[in-house]
Structure 1
Amino acid sequence: MAVVVLTAVLGGLGLGTGVLKEYRPPALTSADLVGRWSDGLGGTVTFTTDGRVTAEDIDDDLGGWGPENESTDSDGPEDEDTRCSGQGTWTYEPGGGAWSQEVDITVDSCSFDVWNVGDTASRPTLYQYLGDPDSWDLYVLRRTDGGP
């Protein structure tokens, strides 16, 4: 118990004095999203300034945790294609702060949840949870065209 208390006290002192920095996702704007983003596995999402988006070979089996999916692995059956491509629209919602930013991508052939913003200002990412959010398994898109 003493170790837990000591850790909490030292952490609080570190944050309070500025020695440790509290992580916050980068605060993006719509303009920061424009361009090409990649999952590093051959999938890309390209955002344009007019609110259009093109998805190519993006994993479309991102969520799906719960009783109805417990008997299958996260990739689904071997012969099932879980990649999607198509054109659609996107919107950015800054929310009430850096933690509540959301990017909504709507492509008819894909069934994405909203995307969260993460990483750093110099290398922002868009991510969704793979399965149970408590597992922190993420599907991540990174800028591929130089970024903001």
Structure 2
Amino acid sequence: MVSRLRSLLWTKAVLISSLVALLTSGCVTHPHAKRSDSIGLWENSVGGRMEFRDDGRFIATSIPLDPRCTEEDDPLQHKQGSGAGTWKLEGFPDEGPGAHIILDVKNDSAGYCDIWTVFTGAKPLSEMQLLYQHDDPGRFRRSTATSR
């Protein structure tokens, strides 16, 4: 009876460990991010730019917008948008630290856009991912260029 109980407990422990490993594989977030880690210019592979300023202002140029922030009928189409707004360091629930951006959009969208990012990347704090855009245009890397 005791050995059967041990066997069941061991099996349960292995299953729980496997589940945790599966759920967290491929997810590299950085829980010790500070506000200063966001400040500066970030660029994606197709010319999009996000600038986080120390005073809480934010400037975006040609970044993919969440379909809920545009008048686009196709929810899979990500329009590019530009504009200015504000930001703060704040993690989206269950995603880890990143930036919460309120963007006043210049194009034909709904007027403002609530954007969430999360820090990712192999090097700590080297990439920022838009939570609604899980391909390359949604991945921004810290830029060495100076802001405009």
Return the TM-score normalized by structure 1. Answer: 0.60
Q: Give matches, 1:20-39, under 5 Å.
A: 24-27=28-31, 28-39=33-44
Whole-angstrom distance in 2 between the partners of 1:39 and 1:86: 16
- Measure, in 2, the Cα distance between the counterparts of 1:105 and 1:59: 13
Give the structure 2 partner of residue 144 of structure 1: 143
Aligned to 1:88: 85
The 8 Å contact of residues 55 and 86 in structure 1, kept in 2 or not, is answered as yes
Q: Which 5+ residue runs of structure 1 have no aligned equivalent?
A: 1-5, 16-20, 77-81, 131-135
Match of 1:103 in 2: 99
1:1-148 to structure 2, matched below 5 A, reads 9=14, 12=17, 24-27=28-31, 28-60=33-65, 62-63=66-67, 72=74, 74-75=76-77, 82-93=79-90, 99-109=95-105, 110-120=112-122, 121=124, 123-130=126-133, 137=135, 139-145=138-144
Offset at residue 94 of structure 1 (A): 5.1
Q: Is the 8 A contact 2:103 2:115 kept in 1?
A: no
CA contact (8 A) 2:62 2:81 kept: yes
> Alpha-carbon deviations, 1:68-115, whole Å to 9, x = none?
x6xx47227xxxxx211112111112589x943241111211524322
Q: 1:73 to 1:119 in 2, by over 3 A?
A: same
Q: CA deviation at 1:126?
A: 2.9
**Is 40-49 or 102-111 further displaced after alignment?**
102-111
Q: Is the 8 A contact 2:50 2:61 kept in 1?
A: yes
Maintained 8 Å contact 1:35/1:47: yes
Cα distance in 1, alignment partners of residues 130 and 80 from structure 2: 16
Structure 1's consecutive aligned runs of 4 or more residues displaced over 3 angstroms after TM superposition are 8-13, 21-24
Displacement, 1:42? 0.8
Q: Which has the larger radius of gyration?
A: 2
SS of residue in 1 equivalent to 2:120 = strand
Distance 1:85 1:100, change over 3 A: same
Distance 1:12 1:142, change over 3 A: same
Structure 2: which 5+ residue stretches go unaligned? 1-10, 106-111
